[in-house]
Amino acid sequence: MNMKVLAVGDVCGEPGLNYLEQRLKDIRKELGVHFVVVNGENANVVGITPRQADTIFRAGADVITLGNHTWTRTELRPYLDERRRILRPANFAPQCPGKGINTYHTDFGDVCVLNLMGRFTLDTNTDNPFVIADGYMEEIREKIILVDFHAEGTSEKLAMAYLLDGRASAVWGTHTHVQTSDACVLPGGTGYITDLGMTGAAQSVLGIDPEQSIGKFMGDPPQRYNSASGPAKLEGCLFEINPETGRCVHAEGVRLT
């Protein structure tokens, strides 16, 4: 039997959290999912709190990955050291709280999950994610390796995927909140999608109230982002992985309302 991994796109605010609470366990059953990785770095719209991370775990996530808003909520820092199932990007400085890579036991064997962050336009003080990823691939011994690459540039994400093709089981992009239509299996057997999309209010601008987003582009003074209201959606990608070889045999974008 192949292992089915569901990667869930950036959870944005209460609409996204509520959707996961109400639907994720049923989705796991309906799709026959064995392992779920959720990008949760926007659960608080900007950042994530320990309470919100606990909500995502209770909803049915096995691992939470983060990104450029990792340090927005200072109360998360001790939580990152206390919980092994939440990851921050591995290319943050080593003195930062938490870990960017970990191994998890499943019925299909050990699964390694790696969280990385891109540098193009994100203006962050991080190590080179390509060098970090390349180094980890020399050390990882697990057959099933999953990589969340939180990055802005599509070229950066594609380049990472080709660097890891045949070495990782699946590589997916997060951060832009817009699902791409390129879910595929690369020539070396790595499942890939440029961006998972977003889990949050369906009628929104990347999860944010449209009027507020319009105001920002019109020149309104800066203010805290507010989640849009209304029905929510889940976007992500389903990867089917052969546990004997660690190769992906099928990748398919998922969009559920």
Q: What is the CATH number of the domain that holds 152?
A: 3.60.21.10
What pLDDT score does 226 carry?
A: 85
CA dihedral (251, 53, 153, 158) positive or negative: negative
User: Any catalytic annotation for residue 69?
Assistant: yes
Kindly tell me if the per-residue pLDDT of 242 is higher than 90: yes
Kindly tell me if the per-residue pLDDT of 23 is higher than 90: yes
What's the pLDDT tens digit per position in 118-170? 998 876 789 999 999 999 999 999 999 999 999 999 999 999 999 999 999 99
Task: List CB contacts of 2: < 8 A, sequence separation 6 or more.
Answer: 240, 241, 242, 243, 249
What pLDDT score does 27 carry?
A: 98
Residue 24's Cβ-count burial label (10 Å; 0-12, 13-18, 19+) is buried
What pLDDT score does 22 carry?
A: 97
What pLDDT score does 155 carry?
A: 97
Instruction: Please give the mean pLDDT across all residues of the chain.
Output: 96
Compute the residue count for the chain: 257
Catalytic residue among 69, 150, 175, 177: 69
Closest by CA position to 104, among listed 86, 131, 124, 77: 86
The pTM (predicted TM-score) of the whole model is 0.96
Kindly tell me if the per-residue pLDDT of 114 is higher than 90: yes
Type and span of the H or E element at 52? helix 50-59
% of the chain at pLDDT higher than 70: 100
Diameter of the chain measured on Cα atoms: 55
- Owning domain of residue 111: 3-256
How many domains is the chain built from? 1
